[in-house]
Structure 1
């Protein structure tokens, strides 16, 4: 049954006063089209605001991302004031670097494939089925995604060490340990992204296939899988990207035997000061990232259109006996998620005198027997302050970018420009954090941007890493919103700011809350760029953990495990709050 609303009811729906549109005279259907009235109502103010919303984030990205990265690459490729591309031949002509590039691609593809094999059944169980505690399980499987890679590497090294729980497997320093750690980190991306799309699927086509004689497997392959294909493919691209640019996991678990482009950039920059080789490798990585982001963007837009046009939503159902294979795979993945963390916590309690809290107590003091320059409590305070600042910056930038990118201009040039902005914003996800951190040091050291040694560099670097995640969480929600709500608000006399406050903000409120919490967790655990920028007297907790890991000794290892446990607990609390406060803020199609 169609329900026709009066103008007063429509004004109430968009939060306006009953008399807000009285001066408009005739009914909307008697005058110009709503789009025309919208443009007239907003006028130059709307156009000026749109330009500022796009320009401000681009200026910040240009100054604090493109400029440092470009300057570092330029130092490696420009000799005596002229462009010198011979470095490509020197680097790519060496077998060692070709092996590093090949291993980077191979392990990323293998990790993405394993994540899909385990994550798709998990998406079905956690988003298509209903059982007690499902929201808690969703939150728990998300915890590894926001953990610092240095913590994950330490947890798996403890698990597979000779004296570890699985030391008999012989995986210490092996490729298998690296793949397991990457699946641990990225399993939640597949579950949450594919699960969100699956939860929105209309169940009737699959039910029709079943009624026509198709079995469960055939109905899944011929109907459900085809509808999920864009989401699955886009998620695979993102997981591939994260695994290809992994830093802490390879650095700790590779044991010097295995290197990726990311860790080799760090080695050439920090250890050998060979900027030419580092620049060539950075360009190779940027090209790889660009290709992956373009493919992921195409798949994401296709999936967003599919979700937007879909009107019927699937409903979660109770578990059935036929779901046992998916339940078994999900349970196995759950073991992979839980066991490394439990082992890390238990080992943090081990001391020469037995189980005790001595490792945690040692974090609170600076003694001659450890390498702490400041107590871990100070590092925790530094981490919280910088993460909070970074979150404010990331949310502000991500909100402006999401508002701009959610618009659908008619002009082809404008649409292409916004697509280019979207691609640029995603680059920090794949460009080496080492490149960004070292670029900060060599460029922001003089003139108006002479911020070298300033405490603001760390939150800025962390905000650049977190901003793409904010965009990917908020943007799909805005794109799925009905444009007619904004048009109705403008027709009824609302100003551009009022339209944003009464229409856009309520629509994206939950997603924005979730994005803020995720940005805080990611900034809290950022290690790559922060390891370059944090001063010795003001380390963050991940930097302190890396410092402890790099020094031999049972005391340092015990304190590293204790500090990693504290950091993991802080990230877990943030993730649990995400699902408690914004349980409906699920990642959008192709998002995170």
Structure 2
């Protein structure tokens, strides 16, 4: 059942909708028509969009890695007052809703913002530069956390031996530390590229004419032109790009896990004088790139018509200027929270079952292949546009036997599909750290499967479960791609309402959009700060118990 139920869930609510949408595009009359594929690939716009996607994602990934590795050193290999707070601050942008990030950077570069006048006489609004900056904002924390977690477990004795033999700090880092970190850096870079290439909300809000990605183009082709054939071809292209990124990430993750068996969790020393450049860069990124746009968003949400006021927040209880909305922002926020709780619950149940199976190490080669295949299958939602999933829901689940398009549950189901891979990726490292001999010993002493699960795997699940729940809730709260297709007019979510307000004319609607963005950002940030604090507290207790 631990395998069957998740596979049925994935088949019904991911594979079926996506395959149906792609099938309608590539086989409109029931028979495969390769000419349509060739026709779409022959369009210059197709290759321009693909090139723009790769360039934007590549630039953002390179910047994230270049700035994130020094940040990982400072935040995970050094100890100083306020480190835990700075760790949480760096991670918060990764879980912010993409539409909020887009609105924050839009407030930065439009009229009235600090960069509204442009840089060197050129406006940044609607440019590749501002899109790349927003993508770096989004994913910098992912690199810091992925690399930093591994760096904190490196045995320092290898570096100490190199230094004792006369190696300079730079040579010791280049010849000893960097090769050890290479798998984590490669994994972080590939995941960063994946998230940059699928940042739908950011590009939709910030991108000007000619600034688009495969994700936004799929939305335009399906929602505006109903060109399912072209959308299907682009979905296949996106799947190929993301599959390559996932393959690199999986290979790097396997290498890092194999290496971690030889490493220790060691206490971090205090900051040293030689850490000053890395600390300065980390603080500059944290305060300038991470705090700056959010600060501008908050400040502009408190202004209207050139005056400081709380009117934008007071109006969240209304439907906006000229009734731009059918519900108030607070009603949409309540609906978002209910949907997110339901989606997170589904994602945790499915993700936990998958993680328990995938974390096992069977002796049979065939079973090992099956476990690896199951792991890869449940990563597929990361490689398919959420827009494709949402539109696939519309055309697949509108008719019997399910007919869910009018059901309240359609949003939690779609959001759970998006959140399951993050839950699995969060729980797996904790479960794979369990020594199989512990399970064998418990079973030999007469414990049944349920008791083995509760006493051996249970504590590890609880340690990682809080963070997994936080990721699932934050992801569901901010999900915009699939929800933009599926939300009904009278039961929208907060990201959908936010996008509608920002796109509506009038100072009242624009101000309400900024205020709604602050509310959504504060909610997701609070979730992740609590989860980060709880995980850090558990690790401290664990170290204290081990030293007792």
For the superposition of Structure 1 and Structure 2, which TM-score range results when normalised by the shorter chain?
A: over 0.9
- The answer (yes or no) to whether the contact 2:154–2:263 under 8 Å persists in 1 is no
Aligned residue number for residue 495 of structure 2? 542
Aligned residue number for residue 546 of structure 2? none
Alignment partner of 1:448: what SS? coil
- The answer (yes or no) to whether the contact 2:427–2:464 under 8 Å persists in 1 is yes
- The answer (yes or no) to whether the contact 2:329–2:494 under 8 Å persists in 1 is yes
Aligned residue number for residue 10 of structure 1? none
Deviation of the 1:372 alpha carbon = 1.7
Return closer, same or farther for 1:70/1:284 CA change in 2, 3 Å cut-off.
same
CA deviation profile, 1:447-490 (whole Å, cap 9, x unmatched): 22111111101011111111111111110111111111111111
- Structure 1, 191-200 or 255-264: larger mean CA deviation: 255-264
- The answer (yes or no) to whether the contact 2:163–2:172 under 8 Å persists in 1 is yes
Deviation of the 1:580 alpha carbon = 2.1
Aligned residue number for residue 42 of structure 1? none
Structure 1 unmatched runs, 5+: 1-51, 587-592
- The answer (yes or no) to whether the contact 2:326–2:490 under 8 Å persists in 1 is yes
- The answer (yes or no) to whether the contact 2:320–2:509 under 8 Å persists in 1 is no
1:89 equivalent in alignment to 2:41:
no
CA deviation profile, 1:363-383 (whole Å, cap 9, x unmatched): 101355341211111011101
Deviation of the 1:90 alpha carbon = 0.9
- The answer (yes or no) to whether the contact 2:26–2:37 under 8 Å persists in 1 is no
- C-alpha RMSD of matched pairs (Å): 1.2
Matched residues in 2 for 1:415 and 1:85: separation? 36
- The answer (yes or no) to whether the contact 1:162–1:172 under 8 Å persists in 2 is no
| Count of aligned pairs between the two proteins | 534
Aligned residue number for residue 544 of structure 2? none
1:323 equivalent in alignment to 2:272:
no
CA deviation profile, 1:418-448 (whole Å, cap 9, x unmatched): 2121111111122101100000000001222
1:391 equivalent in alignment to 2:344:
yes
Deviation of the 1:98 alpha carbon = 0.6
1:22-37 aligned within 5 A:
none
1:273 equivalent in alignment to 2:222:
no
- The answer (yes or no) to whether the contact 2:18–2:392 under 8 Å persists in 1 is yes
Matched residues in 1 for 2:11 and 2:264: separation? 42
- The answer (yes or no) to whether the contact 1:129–1:317 under 8 Å persists in 2 is yes
Deviation of the 1:585 alpha carbon = 7.5
Deviation of the 1:530 alpha carbon = 0.6
Runs of 4 or more off by more than 3 Å in structure 1?
none
Aligned residue number for residue 143 of structure 1? 92
- The answer (yes or no) to whether the contact 1:370–1:556 under 8 Å persists in 2 is no
Aligned residue number for residue 236 of structure 1? 189
1:180 equivalent in alignment to 2:133:
yes
Aligned residue number for residue 332 of structure 1? 284
- Structure 1, 165-174 or 558-567: larger mean CA deviation: 165-174
1:554 equivalent in alignment to 2:507:
yes
Query: For 1:497, which of 450, 453, 472 is the aligned residue?
Result: 450
Aligned residue number for residue 80 of structure 2? 131
1:110 equivalent in alignment to 2:59:
yes
Structure 2 unmatched runs, 5+: 540-548
- Structure 1, 95-104 or 550-559: larger mean CA deviation: 550-559
Matched residues in 2 for 1:87 and 1:213: separation? 64
Aligned residue number for residue 288 of structure 1? 241
Aligned residue number for residue 485 of structure 1? 438
Aligned residue number for residue 420 of structure 1? 373
Matched residues in 2 for 1:210 and 1:114: separation? 30
CA deviation profile, 1:185-227 (whole Å, cap 9, x unmatched): 0011001110000000000101111111111111111000000
Matched residues in 2 for 1:581 and 1:341: separation? 24
1:514 equivalent in alignment to 2:467:
yes
Aligned residue number for residue 335 of structure 2? 382
TM-score normalised to the size of structure 1? Answer: 0.89
Matched residues in 2 for 1:353 and 1:557: separation? 13
Matched residues in 1 for 2:318 and 2:508: separation? 13
Matched residues in 1 for 2:428 and 2:133: separation? 31
Deviation of the 1:508 alpha carbon = 2.4
Aligned residue number for residue 297 of structure 1? 250
Return closer, same or farther for 1:584/1:91 CA change in 2, 3 Å cut-off.
farther
Deviation of the 1:173 alpha carbon = 1.3
1:59 equivalent in alignment to 2:8:
yes
